[in-house]
Chain A
């Protein structure tokens, strides 16, 4: 069974340009997460979806970041415009349901470098 799939794997953009990351969760997983990981630190949650609904977006910088999960499956995370400080790894994860005994699985991440 395929795991969480993310693309692109690597992206280099100039500051002020837009960028988008795509995530396909594990089949059947209705909960989807976007995390950001800065160099040398642990991942930090940006947003959590239950099906199509964003149930926790308190850590998402809403002035430049947006996310959507229109049909409750795939999700897109967008940054516009990108800033130098946005350079990080953007991780997508998914789980089945919201019970904390259900494991959350991560994708390989999308590495963003803003120059």
Chain B
């Protein structure tokens, strides 16, 4: 799987948009970008994923650059319950290994 680079930590004010960046400059054409988050003492929670196009669901939006070398996860109106570690993962799309390889993630702190 391609390696990702994320900031170690970020702060965001409650009610504001949280924009979490991720660099994946070595991503291949068949690799998906996945985002998970992990709230303390819970298992990783799926947020969103995409291949080329921007994606949006009830939790977040995923913006992927045209060259696919970076992406941004957007939480439009962050709440205190969004405080968590956010993992950006690129996932290979063939039989080489259908799994998720987690890095260190970004620790997002949403403050009142």
CB of B18, distance to nearest CB on chain A (Å): 20
B98 near A42 (CB under 8 angstroms)? no
B95 near A98 (CB under 8 angstroms)? yes
Chain A residues near B105: list those with CB within 8 A: 42
Q: For the complex, is A106 an interface residue (Cβ under 8 Å from B)?
A: yes
A-contact 0/1 string along B82-109, CB 8 Å cutoff: 0000010001111101111111110000
B97 near A105 (CB under 8 angstroms)? no
Q: For the complex, is B43 an interface residue (Cβ under 8 Å from A)?
A: yes
- Nearest B-chain residue to A105, judged by Cβ: B46
Q: For the complex, is B21 an interface residue (Cβ under 8 Å from A)?
A: no
How many of chain B's residues touch chain A, expressed as a range?
20 to 34
Contact of B31 among A100, A103, A109 (CB under 8 A): A100
Q: For the complex, is A72 an interface residue (Cβ under 8 Å from B)?
A: no
A42 near B103 (CB under 8 angstroms)? yes
Q: For the complex, is A79 an interface residue (Cβ under 8 Å from B)?
A: no
Chain B residues near A105: list those with CB within 8 A: 46
A104–B102 CA distance with the chains assembled, in angstroms: 13
CB of A111, distance to nearest CB on chain B (Å): 8
A41–B8 CA distance with the chains assembled, in angstroms: 12
A40–B102 CA distance with the chains assembled, in angstroms: 12
A106 near B99 (CB under 8 angstroms)? no
Identify which of A14-22, A43-51, A63-71, A80-88 touches chain B.
Answer: A43-51
A-contact 0/1 string along B57-87, CB 8 Å cutoff: 0000000000000000000000000000001
B49 near A108 (CB under 8 angstroms)? no
B102 near A103 (CB under 8 angstroms)? no
Binding site for A on B (CB under 8 A): 30-32, 34, 36, 41-46, 49, 51, 87, 91-95, 97-105
13 contacts between A and B (CB under 8 A): A4-B43, A45-B99, A95-B98, A98-B98, A99-B98, A100-B94, A103-B46, A103-B49, A104-B46, A104-B99, A105-B46, A106-B36, A106-B43
**Apart from A100-B94, A104-B99, 13 more pairs, CB < 8 Å:** A41-B104, A42-B102, A45-B101, A98-B95, A100-B30, A100-B32, A100-B92, A100-B93, A103-B49, A105-B46, A106-B36, A108-B42, A108-B43
